[in-house]
Structure 1
Amino acid sequence: MKNDLIQQINPLLNRLSVQLASRFEHQMDNELTVKQVLLLELIRTGCASTKDLAAQLNISMSAVSQILNKLEAKEYITRSINPENRREILLKLAAKGERHFEEAQMLEDEINRDVYGQLPLEDLKHFVLILGKLNEIVKGE
C-alpha cells in the first residue's frame, strides 16, 4: 500500500509541474528563448561575467556573447565597462529586463492562486507542512 502511494508521487508532481508551466508559458510573452531567460535570471541573481555565465549554462563564451547581443538589442540588459577593471564588462538588467521578472512573478502568483486557491484551507496547510517535511528530509541526506 505505502509503496503503491510512493510510486504515484513523482508522476503526479511531474504532471502538475508540466501543467502549471504550460499555463505560465501560454500566458507569458514568448519574445525570449529559454536560454535567454536563463541568462537573464543568472544576471539578475548576480552572475555577471561572460565566463561565469558560460560555465553556469554549460555553453561556450561565444554562445553567451551572441545571446547577450540579442538581449542588449531587445533592451533587456545593459553592458558597461567596469571603471575599476577596464577589461571587464558589467552586465545589468535594463528596465525591460526588470519588468519581465515583475510580470512573470505576478503571472505565477495569479496561476498559483487560481490553482491552489481551489483547495480547502486545511488541505493547503497539510500540503505546505508536507512539502516542508520533504525539504527537511532531502536537506538532511
Structure 2
Amino acid sequence: MNNDLIQQINSLQNHLNIQLASRFEHKIDNQLTAKQVLLLELIRTGVTSTKDLAAQLNITTSAVSQILNKLEAKEYITRSINKENRREIILNLGVKGNRYFEEVQMLEDEINHSVYGQLPVEDLEHLVRILTRLNVIVKGE
C-alpha cells in the first residue's frame, strides 16, 4: 500500500466531495449542512477569519457569522478573543467538531484499509488520474 498515493487520492476525493456537497447540499439530509461541514473543514485547516471563510465559500461575512453562531451553539466550534489583538476572534473546533473529524478519520482509515489496501499501485495511480479529471469536470460545470 503506497501511503503517498492514498494521501493524494484522499486529497483529491475530499476536494471533489467538498465541491459536490456544496453543489448538492439541498439533497443532503444530515445534522450538519454542507456549508457547515465546509466551514468546519476550513477552520480545521487553519482558515479562521470570517472574511477569509466568506471568500473561500463565496458567501457574505454575515452568512458566515450566522453559520458560526449555529456551530458554536451546537459546540462544533469555539470562539475566543486574541489576547494580542483584541479585535481578532480565534476560531477553533469544539468538542463536537473534533469528534466529527475523528469519526470521519476512522471511516477514512477503514476505507483505506479495506478498499484502497486491496488495490495494486497501478490502480491507485489510475484512480488519482480519474479523480483529477472529475475535479476539473465538476469545477468547470
Q: Does 1:125 align with 2:121?
A: yes
CA RMSD of aligned residues (A): 2.9
CA distance in 2, matches of 1:106, 1:124: 22
CA-to-aligned-CA distance 1:97-131 (integer Å, 9 cap, x gap): 111011012123324444445x5xxx522212445
Name stretches of at least 5 consecutive residues in structure 1 with no aligned partner. 1-16, 22-28
Tell me the percent identity.
70
TM-score of the two chains, using structure 2 as the length reference? 0.65
1:30-41 superposed matches below 5 A: 30-41=30-41
Paired residues, number: 107
Structure number with greater CO (CA < 8 Å, separation at least 6) is 2
CA-to-aligned-CA distance 1:38-74 (integer Å, 9 cap, x gap): 0000000000000000001000000000000000000
Q: Secondary structure at the match of 1:83?
A: coil
Instruction: Name the aligned partner's letter for residue 124 of structure 1.
Output: P
CA distance in 2, matches of 1:91, 1:58: 19
Runs of 4+ aligned residues of structure 1 deviating over 2 Å after TM superposition are 108-117, 128-132
TM-score of the two chains, using structure 1 as the length reference? 0.65
Q: Secondary structure at the match of 1:31?
A: coil
CA distance in 2, matches of 1:64, 1:44: 15
Cα pair 2:77 2:93 within 8 Å, conserved:
yes
Q: Does 1:88 align with 2:84?
A: no
Name stretches of at least 5 consecutive residues in structure 2 with no aligned partner. 1-15, 21-28, 134-141
CA distance in 2, matches of 1:79, 1:116: 37
